[in-house]
Structure 1
Amino acid sequence: MSATNTPAADGTALVGIVLVSHSAAVAEAVAELAVGLAGGGAKAPVAAAGGTPDGGLGTSAELIAEAARSVDHGAGVALLVDLGSAVLTVKALIAEGDELPEGARLVDAPFVEGAVAAVVTASAGADLAAVAAAAEEAHGYRKE
């Protein structure tokens, strides 16, 4: 799933967001929710990288790398993940250094709340550090 990539009001590229889940359906649903809650105006590019190439549960380095390239427009790419092996796969891709866009960043954030915060912040034109910080702040969201 890729959202419409509308540049920020000043014409600059927006930070891209990749949502990595063990399930394609979960990744797509979280992407749809985050983009929908981002409101009107510019929308950061968002891609879901869920499951395996054959449609099964798991993670795929190829799907993640493809998604990251699809949302990279020079402002950076934030990768948010759901569970353990997704973290390991993204860390391995970052360590390899040539599969992901330069400066791609794994963000330590809750998957749903972090995705919403990241997409909203990126859509407002924030840089990669601010997008990551907003997503990471979602750890503190209280539900009581």
Structure 2
Amino acid sequence: MSARQPVGVVLVSHSREVADASAALAKALAGAGADAPVIGAGGTPDGGVGTSSERIARAAHAVDRGAGVALLVDLGSAVLTVKSLLAEGDELPDGARLVDAPFLEGAVAAVVTALAGGDLDAVANAASEAYAYRKE
């Protein structure tokens, strides 16, 4: 019997650097190795600021291990891009879900929960609960 595969996590940012650095930080804080199922999908194909449906879809397929993919986004048009991909129905892996969560705190909670074996609902809930983290 093989171990259950973890939920994948895609961090969608308008900046490639922000997405990649956030994925690296989430991996580090979760104590995860290079093969952790989290990846950044930021910026436009030409390196500019924005979002790219192609980059997002490629990233989602890269981390999909059959347990679902949680997509966390930074700002408004990233939400619209992911919603559009989900509406199309064939660009993202089955079980892909947009998660309403704070970007960085949610990313860390999502990765930790995914690596602990949580299913997609648990990963989405953990990420969303990060809204309650107080910093005062």
Please give the TM-score of this superposition, normalised by the length of structure 1: 0.90
Structure 2 Cα separation of the partners of residues 120 and 40 of structure 1: 8
Return the alpha-carbon distance in structure 2 between the equivalents of residues 137 and 43 of structure 1.
25
Taking structure 1 as reference, are residues 73 and 39 closer, same or farther at Cα in structure 2, changes over 3 Å only? same
Q: How many pairs were matched up? A: 135
Q: Which amino acid aligns with 1:81?
A: V
Partner of 2:69: 77
Give the one of 19, 25, 43 matched to 1:27: 19
User: Once the two structures are superposed, what CA deviation does each residue of 1:10-67 show, in whole Å capped at 9, x if it has no partner?
Assistant: 6111100000000000001100100001125896411110000000000000000000
Structure 1 runs not aligned, ≥5 long: 1-9
Structure 2 unaligned residues grouped into runs of 5+: none
Aligned to 1:53: 45
Change (3 A) 1:57 1:42: closer
Is 1:102 the counterpart of 2:86? The answer is no
CA-based RMSD of the aligned residues comes to 1.4
> Does the residue aligned with 1:13 lie in a helix, a strand or coil?
coil
Task: State how far apart, in whole Å, the 2-side matches of 1:18 and 1:30 are.
Answer: 10
Instruction: Report the secondary structure of 1:118's partner residue.
Output: helix
Identity value in percent: 74
Which residue number in structure 2 is paired with residue 18 of structure 1?
10
TM-score when normalising by structure 2: 0.95
Q: Could you tell me whether the CA contact under 8 Å between 2:67 and 2:95 is conserved in 1?
A: no
- Pair 1:88–1:73, CA change in 2 (3 A): same
Q: Deviations over 1:94-113 (max 9, x none)?
A: 00000000110000000000
What is the match of residue 4 of structure 1? none
C-alpha distance in structure 1 between counterparts of 2:37 and 2:79, whole Å: 21
Amino acid at match of 1:130: A
